[in-house]
Amino acid sequence: MDHKYIKECINEFSKLRINKPKDESTLLEAALFIEDVFGLTLSDDEICEKNLGSSKEMKRFLLKKLK
């Protein structure tokens, strides 16, 4: 998958989340976004602040996951 496409998708998602507080529902929403857009299934352990807490972390996680 193209790195530019991943970056564009996550940036667009992040724009919609700018004023939302980070909590469990935000992480779940990010996980559902990734599953829907990129066709992945995330484990409960992968749905965490470390992987989905920011757009930078989401990009890093996705690039690693899609290898």
For residues 55 and 53, give the distance between their C-alpha atoms in angstroms, rounded to a whole number: 7
> Do 62 and 34 touch, CB atoms closer than 8 A?
yes
CA-closest candidate to residue 14, choices 37, 40, 41: 37
Provide the domain limits for residue 8.
Answer: 3-65
**How many domains does the chain fold into?**
1
How confident is the model over 27-55, as a mean pLDDT? 93
Give the pLDDT confidence score for residue 3 in this predicted structure: 87
pTM: 0.83
In the chain, alpha helices (H): 3-16, 24-38, 49-52, 55-65
Amino acid at 14: S
How confident is the model over 38-67, as a mean pLDDT? 93
> Do 61 and 53 touch, CB atoms closer than 8 A?
no
